[in-house]
């Protein structure tokens, strides 16, 4: 199963929200659509869901128009809350599942399983409006996948979740991936994107700045993230050839290099007086790459 976006554009009068977008989200992978607010992510989701029509381009599922995909095979978790506050958690999940064509008998078993997985069993008969923001988010997530969709779109799924509940959500997303669900995922938390996604599309003002595997984006900049620990001073390190910036982090120093080839002469310089405790060279994090690509920051 594959979702393919081909030369997709959306114009609202003179404003171009999405501009010639291309990417492919495959079965067994998690695809990240990332960008700043207003980059075109939600507009893209709405076109995939057929809530708004593209100005040009195509959205295909298995080579055919996505509109041929059974609507009951699609799951969508919007960034905004979409729950009924006066309904109990159990009734709400049953209602959304039945809207997707599932039988009450099947749903009751599924609801029991999901409530237990997300530690909500004691909330089954509680009104949704009385739940914390994090628990409401978990209920909304269950509602988006209770019908076992083949295509799942998650827009800011970690909003309002503490680290424990975020971990539960990550496990659920990975389980769905392993079951073959095509998952498109959007979040401003780059650490979550880097942990979960296989491929990404980085948007800025509707245009794609990069589309592909995260490791390929990292390789564009090389291993320029150098961490050292030893009897140094910031002034000792900032003057080394190839060093763009130096920051002190706990008991270590973090150096950003112009190029990964600068690391070898730096190593020779720092070790000329003997042993140093740490010298570690790695790629920049996705958050740092995001800032470089989108904001032009030289982190």
pLDDT recorded at residue 297:
55
Write phi, then psi, for 245 (nearest 5 degrees). Answer: -150, 155
pLDDT recorded at residue 272:
84
Top-confidence residue, 22 or 146: 22
pLDDT recorded at residue 72:
81
Domains of the chain by residue range: 2-213, 223-282
Hey, how many other C-beta atoms are within 10 angstroms of the C-beta on 55?
15
pLDDT tens, position by position, 209-254: 999 999 999 999 999 999 998 887 777 788 899 999 999 888 889 9
pLDDT recorded at residue 121:
92
What superfamily in CATH does domain 2-213 come from? P-loop containing nucleotide triphosphate hydrolases (3.40.50.300)
For range 31-37, the mean pLDDT: 92
pLDDT recorded at residue 213:
93
pLDDT recorded at residue 53:
93
pLDDT recorded at residue 296:
67
pLDDT tens, position by position, 115-144: 998 899 999 999 998 998 888 988 998 998
pLDDT recorded at residue 271:
87
Which token pair is 44?
A: 């893209």
Q: Show Cβ contacts of residue 180 under 8 Å, excluding neighbours closer than 6 positions.
A: 1, 27, 28, 150
Top-confidence residue, 32 or 67: 32
Q: What is the pTM of this model?
A: 0.86
Report d(CA 3, CA 237) in Å as an integer. 48
Report d(CA 220, CA 229) in Å as an integer. 27
Q: Give the SS3 label for residue 63.
A: coil
Res 52 pLDDT > 70: yes
For range 74-90, the mean pLDDT: 87
pLDDT recorded at residue 80:
78
pLDDT tens, position by position, 156-210: 888 878 888 888 888 888 988 998 999 998 988 899 999 999 899 999 999 999 9
For range 262-273, the mean pLDDT: 89
pLDDT recorded at residue 87:
92
Res 298 pLDDT > 70: no
DSSP 283: P
pLDDT recorded at residue 222:
93
Res 281 pLDDT > 90: yes
How does residue 67 score in pLDDT terms, banded at 50, 70 and 90? confident
């Amino acid at each position: 199963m594959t979702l393919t976006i081909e030369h997709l554009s959306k114009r609202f009068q003179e404003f171009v929200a999405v501009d010639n977008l291309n990417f492919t989200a495959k079965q067994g992978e998690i695809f990240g659509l990332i960008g700043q607010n207003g980059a075109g992510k939600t507009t893209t989701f709405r076109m995939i869901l057929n809530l708004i029509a593209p100005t040009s381009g195509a959205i295909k599922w298995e080579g055919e128009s996505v509109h041929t995909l059974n609507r009951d095979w699609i799951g969508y978790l919007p960034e905004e809350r979409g729950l009924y506050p006066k309904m109990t958690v159990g009734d709400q999940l049953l209602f959304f599942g039945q809207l997707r064509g599932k039988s009450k008998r099947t749903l009751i078993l599924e609801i029991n399983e999901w409530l237990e997985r997300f530690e909500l069993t004691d909330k089954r008969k509680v009104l949704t409006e009385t739940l914390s923001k994090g628990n409401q988010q978990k209920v909304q997530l269950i509602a988006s996948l209770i019908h076992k969709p083949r295509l799942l779109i998650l827009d800011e799924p970690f909003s309002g979740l503490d680290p424990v509940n975020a971990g539960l959500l990550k496990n659920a997303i990975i389980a769905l991936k392993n079951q073959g669900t095509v998952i498109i995922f959007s979040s401003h938390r780059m650490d979550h994107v880097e942990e979960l996604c296989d491929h990404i599309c980085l948007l800025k003002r509707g245009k794609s700045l990069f589309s592909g595997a995260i490791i390929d984006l990292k390789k564009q900049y090389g291993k320029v993230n150098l961490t050292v620990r030893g009897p140094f001073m910031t002034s000792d390190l900032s003057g080394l050839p190839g060093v763009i910036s130096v920051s002190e982090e706990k008991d270590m120093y973090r150096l950003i290099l112009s190029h990964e080839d600068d690391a070898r002469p730096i190593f020779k310089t720092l070790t000329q007086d003997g042993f140093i405790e740490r010298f570690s060279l790695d790629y920049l994090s996705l958050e740092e790459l995001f800032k470089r690509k989108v904001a032009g920051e030289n982190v």
